[in-house]
Amino acid sequence: MADGTLIIADDHPLFRGALRQAVDGLEEIGRVVEAGDFEAARKAADDNPEAYVMLLDLAMPGVSGFSGLMLLRAQYSSLPIIICSASDDGATVRRALDLGASGFISKSSGIDEIRAAIRAVLKGDLWTPKGFEAGAEQDPEMADLIARLRTLTPQQSRVLAMLCEGLLNKQIAYELGVSEATIKAHVSAILLKLRVDSRTQAVIQLGRLNGAQVA
């Protein structure tokens, strides 16, 4: 597994530097690619299909909260993603894992813990912060919403994330290389699965999940 690629996606240069310092001691990682915003993170995943893992900040320019995680999980399903966030309360950790993250690192973690998290995920294990107690989502409405979001196909998740970016159907169709009619069908399926009547309501539902701005 030596000489693998790791992607660090965070908009704070100092924290990217701290993460790079942490992974420099891992024999499993031979190359590090950095991204300072969400589009750069997507490009890094595109350009490095062999990447072993991505460390992803929840709050970066170009995306809001869990929307980025959903989109990346849909678009790069084989790439393990470890969330790195200063918002490390139990609800945030649980929701990240429910939406497909392979691990969660608090930004207050030390180098040894960061290395341990990466090694665990590379072995196929989940990693959570010390003191995190696994369990069901405490908010019944949020649990229902997450369950509905998990029924979306990868393409539907991508379309929903793009709706949240404010893109029109024809813009989404262009980005995904499909017809506008296909996008309309995806939007209809999303509304049905989320039990809402309009794309605006769908965006509001995802906004509820994102909640307050995470760091």
In this structure, which amino acid lies at residue 16?
R
Q: Do domains 4-122 and 140-210 have the same CATH topology?
A: no
pLDDT for 136 equals 61
Tell me how far apart the alpha carbons of residues 96 and 82 are, in angstroms, rounded to a whole number: 9
Q: Distance of alpha carbon 28 from its chain centroid, rounded?
A: 23
Tell me which DSSP letter residue 126 carries. -
Tell me how far apart the alpha carbons of residues 200 and 215 are, in angstroms, rounded to a whole number: 25
Tens digits of residue pLDDT in 14-59: 889 888 988 887 888 888 999 999 889 999 999 999 899 999 998 8
Contacts of 125 (CB under 8 A, 6+ apart): none
Phi then psi dihedrals of residue 20, to 5 deg? -60, -40
pLDDT for 54 equals 96
- CATH class of segment(s) 140-210: mainly alpha
Tell me which DSSP letter residue 24 carries. T
Tens digits of residue pLDDT in 49-65: 989 999 999 888 777 67
- Residues 85, 59: contact at Cβ < 8 Å? yes
CATH code for the domain defined by 4-122? 3.40.50.2300
Residue segments in the chain with a per-residue pLDDT below the cut of 70? 1-3, 64, 134-138, 211-215
User: Which sequence spans correspond to the domains of the chain?
Assistant: 4-122, 140-210
At residue 31, the 3 state secondary structure works out as strand
Alpha-helical runs (H) found in the chain:
13-23, 38-47, 66-75, 90-98, 111-122, 140-149, 154-164, 169-176, 180-194, 199-210
